[in-house]
Every structure is written in structure tokens, then in C-alpha cells.
Amino acid sequence: SNGTITCKILGKKECEARGMGAYLGVARGSETEPQFIHLTYKPRKGDINSKVAVVGKGLLFDTGGYNIKTAMMELMKFDCGGSAATLGAARAVGQLAPEGVECHFLVAACENMINDRAVVPSDILTASNGKTIEVINTDAEGRLTLADALVYADKEVGAERIIELSTLTGAMMVSLGKEICGFFTTDDDLAKELEDVSKKTGDKSWRMPMAKEYNDQLKSKVADMTNCGTRYGGAITAALFLENFVSKKKPFAHIDIAGPVWSDKTGATGFGAKLVTEWVTRQGQLKKEETEEEKKKD
């Protein structure tokens, strides 16, 4: 990266100091300690017009926890597909060295395993923004790790815009198959950007609805929310869950890449890396153009 990328790794104690109870709750079932990866890209020269963050789901293996998987467990090494896309994009961005943008690449890496300390259904976890989460299903663990990663991107990094990639739900594969990812955002400008970037890179995507009425599925009697809803609309309720961990007015997109990240014929596809790279490289110029337009109006 010629010095454009720096790396910081937060261990278990540093994550505990930040109150990352959702992420650490998932990680405590494994003998391998969690590692929170933070790569920062800054251009070698010029002003920084935009600070953005890319969050990738990093479940290095997912047994399902005590709600153990009864199928496809042998493929669960691909549950880190979001982090693979994120780290692959970081490498590409470092080589391309786009000007005007500072980007933070974040991965809350861990495993979802089973031992005498692992989370069980009915446990309540507290995320780093103070939100409490009733664990209904231990196999809905990715969103728990992402919750604390999103709070970190929002509050500690101070990113102005955030996108997140994850192999989050089987429901997305049922909806769009294995060639197309679905993305969720309430920000129309960000949606248009992702649609354009998708066409440019060939990483096919489709905008999905953020049906607020489905929030009823996440209601809990004993916590601020549950970690999953019913079997119906599961990809939507996952996106609605993640919204709780980013400031309401901040542009944010959740991208579910569960389908296209893996090919039964060839294995891992690297899906999402091109999409993220293109999106990041555009951010500095995009913000510059927006600033110039505002000056013209004044």
C-alpha cells in the first residue's frame, strides 16, 4: 500500500473496555480469542473530503452455536465472506490510492462455537451503545458482531457514511438466489450510488425494502430488542436490527451477500470486493463535487 494503510488490532481486553458485549458474547464460545481488525486508508497527498467506513462480517466458522446447524455446516468457512470482500477491497484501494477519501475497513473477527461458556437462547447481551439484546437464536450471531462494529464505525471512527457487507441470511438466498446480493438503505442517494457501482463492477445487486412495520418482530419483553424475528421476512428484520447501531441521520447500507459469495462449482467468488473498491474510490470526488455545488448555490 506504499504506506497508505495502517493496521490496528483490538484484542479481547480492548473490546471489553469499549463495552462490546454483543460481539464478545458470540466470541466466548470459542477457544480462539476475538480479534477486532481496523485498517485505515489515507491518501498520500491532498485534502481529505470524505471519511467513510466499510464493515465486513468476519465469522471464521459458524456452527450455529447451541441452535446448531443441521445442514451446510461444512460450508460455514464462507461466513467470513463479508470480511474477505472488505479486506480484499482494502488491498485494492491501497494500490489504487484514490485521493480525497479516508476509509476505515473494520472486521469483528471471531468464531461461533459451542462450549460451557457459549451464549444460550434467552441470554441478554449489551452492545457498546447500551442497547440490550435478547438472544432468541444463537445462529443469528453475525448481526451481534456487526452491531458493535457499526457502533465503532459510527462513534469511535466518526465515519460520515457506512456500508456493511455480510453473509447474513438464508432468507436473502431464497429471495434473490445465488447470483445477486440484496442491499438495504433508507438513503436514496446512497442507494443510487450502490446501484451505479453494481452496474459498473458487475457485482449484481437489488435494493430491498426497509419495511418498518416488521420491527414488531424484534420486540422483546425483557430487552430493547431480540436478535431475530420470525421465519418470514428474515432478511428485512436483520437489516432493521442493524439500523439500531448507526446514528439515524447517517447514510448507511447493509449489503447481504449470502448468495453470490460462494459457488458450488468453484468455491469462494470474491464477490463484493470490486463493489466496495469502486464505491470507496468515488467518495473523495463525490464529496468534492457536492461541496462545489453548494458553493455555487451560495
pLDDT tens, position by position, 43-75: 999 999 999 999 999 999 999 999 999 998 999
Side-chain-side CA neighbours of 239 within 13 Å: the count stands at 27
CA-CA distances (angstroms) from residue 111 to 78, 89, 146, 156, 209? 12, 22, 13, 24, 30
Please name the residue that has the C-alpha cell 461444512: 74
pLDDT tens, position by position, 171-226: 999 999 999 999 999 999 999 999 999 999 999 999 999 999 999 999 999 999 99
Instruction: Please list the active-site residues.
Output: 69, 143
Return the SS3 of 55.
Answer: strand
Long-range contacts of 227-234, Cβ-Cβ distance < 8 Å, separation of 24 or more: 227/133, 227/134, 227/135, 227/136, 227/137, 227/140, 227/141, 227/143, 227/144, 228/136, 228/137, 228/140, 228/143, 231/171, 233/171, 234/169, 234/170, 234/171
Alpha helices in the chain (DSSP H): 12-17, 21-27, 81-96, 142-151, 170-176, 188-201, 234-242, 273-297
Q: Residue 85 — very low, low, confident or very high, per pLDDT cuts 50/70/90?
A: very high
- Give the distance from CA 158 to its chain's centroid: 16
181 within 8 A of 205, measured Cβ to Cβ: yes
Task: Name the pTM for this structure.
Answer: 0.96
Which percentage of the chain shows pLDDT scores above 70? 96
Neighbours of 43 (CB within 10 A): 18
Alpha helices in 202-246 (DSSP H): 234-242
CA-CA distances (angstroms) from residue 43 to 5, 46, 62, 100, 153? 9, 7, 36, 7, 19
pLDDT tens, position by position, 214-269: 999 999 999 999 999 998 999 999 999 999 999 999 999 999 999 999 999 999 99
4 pLDDT more than 90? yes
Q: Residue 295 — very low, low, confident or very high, per pLDDT cuts 50/70/90?
A: low
pLDDT tens, position by position, 145-164: 999 999 999 999 999 999 99
289 pLDDT more than 90? no
Distance CA 85, CA 165 (A): 8
Distance CA 64, CA 45 (A): 46
Residues 6+ apart with CB under 8 A from 248: none
58 within 8 A of 108, measured Cβ to Cβ: yes
Residues 6+ apart with CB under 8 A from 122: 134, 135
